[in-house]
Amino acid sequence: MNFTLKIWRQRDAHSKGEFKEYKVTDISSDTSFLEMLDILNNDLVHKGEEPVAFDHDCREGICGMCSLHIDGHAHGPSQAVTTCQIYMRQFKDGATITIEPWRSAAFPVIRDLVVNRNAYDQILQAGGYVSVRTNSVPDGNAIPIPQADAEESMDAAACVGCGACAATCKNGSAMLFVAARVSSLAKLPQGRVEGARRAKAMVAKMDELGFGNCTNTGACQAECPKGISIAHIARLNREFLCAKLKD
């Protein structure tokens, strides 16, 4: 298969970026999208040009490192998968593919397609954890948790923190990410203890970092590679408002 790639190139955070076109030829239909970019970079290095910088790590959809806005979609045209899980057979032979970095004021471009997603780490540091005493391993059944709660918590915990939600949202809102983290802990007895403090601290940090206001478009849910539901945003709203009313 042959493709024309329209890729955003930007030397560093302070430089002005622009789109550049590249041709990739004889690509196997079973090549993954990131492998196709590896092939392009190999060609560029052989020609003495700068390779395209892009984020990647596990390449099996669990680390949340890969990003890329491909033909208007975060993580490409497929539903509920990360960029590393899409294959070139999903594109038409001869197609022009536009590849952009995440666009959000809170995710500044570092180079080419790589953005700084440290803002999500800062939100997590503000409260996305459970304080526990270190000791011997607790008994597995010491705290009974209803199956439905455990399932819901695990659904929220599937969030890999890739940033697709904020990158997709027309408001640049990180609500789905914060909601997933708050919700996954709020549904468990261990997480309830710090529930109110967590919701307030994480929302305050999200606002401080310049993310936008959620207007419930649902675009984040549609583009989330882990299919996180916006119902978790309702839970975050509940947790936050109840915590504030108790102040």
CB of 132 to other proteins, least distance (A): 27
Backbone angles phi, psi at 22, to 5 degrees: -135, 150
Asked if 9 interacts with other proteins (CB under 8 A), we say no
Asked if 213 interacts with other proteins (CB under 8 A), we say yes
Near other proteins by CB under 8 A, which window of 41-49, 54-62, 129-137, 222-230?
222-230
Give the strand pairing for 96-100 and 3-9.
parallel
Near other proteins by CB under 8 A, which window of 40-48, 55-63, 83-91, 95-103?
95-103
Q: Are 127 and 191 in contact (CB under 8 A)?
A: no
Asked if 55 interacts with other proteins (CB under 8 A), we say no
Residue 46 to residue 43: CA distance in whole angstroms: 5
Residue among 86, 180, 206, 228 that touches other proteins (CB under 8 A): 206
Q: Are 2 and 40 in contact (CB under 8 A)?
A: no
Q: Which two structure tokens, joined as six digits, stand for 211? A: 């993310």
Q: Residue 81 is which amino acid?
A: V
Backbone angles phi, psi at 46, to 5 degrees: -65, -30
Q: Are 182 and 199 in contact (CB under 8 A)?
A: yes
Nearer to other proteins by Cβ, of 65 and 201: the residue is 201
CB of 231 to other proteins, least distance (A): 5
Helix (H) or strand (E) holding 176, with range, is: helix 175-186
Residue among 22, 221, 226, 228 that touches other proteins (CB under 8 A): 221
Placement of tokens 């993580």 in the chain: 75
The footprint of other proteins on residues 75-94 (CB under 8 A) is 79
Asked if 222 interacts with other proteins (CB under 8 A), we say yes
CB of 232 to other proteins, least distance (A): 9
Q: Which two structure tokens, joined as six digits, stand for 78? A: 């497929």
Nearer to other proteins by Cβ, of 56 and 235: the residue is 235
Q: Which two structure tokens, joined as six digits, stand for 230? A: 């916006």
Q: Which two structure tokens, joined as six digits, stand for 2? A: 């042959």
Nearer to other proteins by Cβ, of 34 and 74: the residue is 74
The contact set with other proteins (CB under 8 A) reads 6, 17, 19, 69, 71-73, 79, 98, 100, 103-106, 168, 170-173, 203-204, 206-207, 210-219, 221-223, 229-231, 233-242, 244, 247
